[in-house]
């Protein structure tokens, strides 16, 4: 909900049309687990400054949609940006959605649906989305073994996960300072976190 409409228009470029309302049905760029429930964000709409944004790339009957909120009726203003693409342009269209999610919204890679990336044929450009993290760590270790002369820092999968967790928490705290209390509770009683997700 952060970007202003003008910012979205500037980032997307020409050919995108905006309308007020929910996006068309389609396949979502984000994994559903990382999309907010409308009920959870409606309190943010009371100020009137926030707008829920969706971006839909359409290919005939197929729609690939980016949005951070599950598409259900809600009491917030909803703006959808839509553009029709030829099927041969699916790579460019999905890449536009991915770059918006990663560069503008600053979302972590693991929130992107790898099936959409595979479908668009973008795994070579975004291998961290398509590959299992352990495969990537093992590949880095093999490169290090081949290049013993050159110092290469290789992180374990745990270190990669921890770095990503720190980045996600930092982003959450920037958006909502109340999230600091959640982090403090986790620090005070980490076993409680394990109980929640075991």
Task: Encode the chain (198 residues) as per-residue pLDDT tens digits.
Answer: 445 788 888 889 889 999 999 999 999 999 999 999 988 888 887 777 788 999 999 998 899 999 999 988 888 889 999 999 998 899 999 999 999 998 888 998 889 999 999 999 999 888 888 876 666 667 667 767 776 655 445 556 667 777 777 777 777 776 776 777 777 677 767 777 767 765
* Cα–Cα distance measured from residue 189 to residue 136, given in angstroms and rounded to the nearest whole number: 32
The DSSP result for 85-115, as a single string, is --GGGHHHHHHHHHHIIIIIS---GGGB-HH
Please, which residues have CB within 8 angstroms of residue 57's CB and are 6 or more apart in sequence? Answer: 63, 64, 65, 82, 83, 85, 90, 93, 94, 96, 97
CA distances from 196 to 47, 79, 162, 192 (A): 32, 35, 18, 6
b/e sequence 145-154, b meaning 16+ C-beta within 10 Å: eeeeeeeeee
C-alpha 126/C-alpha 3 separation (Å) is: 24
């Amino acid at each position: 909900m952060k970007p202003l409409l003008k910012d979205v228009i500037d980032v997307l470029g020409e050919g995108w049309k905006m309308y007020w309302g929910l996006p068309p049905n389609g396949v979502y760029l984000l994994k559903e687990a990382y999309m907010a429930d409308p009920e959870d964000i409606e309190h943010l709409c009371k100020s009137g400054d926030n707008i829920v944004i969706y971006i839909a790339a359409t290919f005939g009957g197929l729609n690939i949609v980016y949005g951070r909120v599950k598409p259900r009726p809600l009491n917030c203003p909803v703006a959808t940006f839509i553009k029709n693409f030829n099927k041969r342009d699916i790579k460019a269209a999905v890449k536009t959605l991915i770059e918006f999610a990663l560069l503008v919204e600053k979302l972590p890679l693991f929130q992107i649906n790898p099936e959409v990336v595979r479908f668009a044929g973008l795994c070579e450009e975004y291998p961290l989305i398509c590959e299992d993290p352990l495969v990537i760590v093992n590949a880095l270790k093999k490169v290090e073994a081949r290049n013993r002369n050159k110092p290469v820092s290789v992180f374990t999968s745990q270190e990669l996960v921890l770095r990503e967790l720190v980045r996600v928490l930092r982003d959450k705290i920037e958006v909502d300072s109340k999230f600091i209390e959640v982090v403090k509770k986790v620090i005070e009683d980490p076993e409680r976190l394990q109980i929640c997700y075991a």
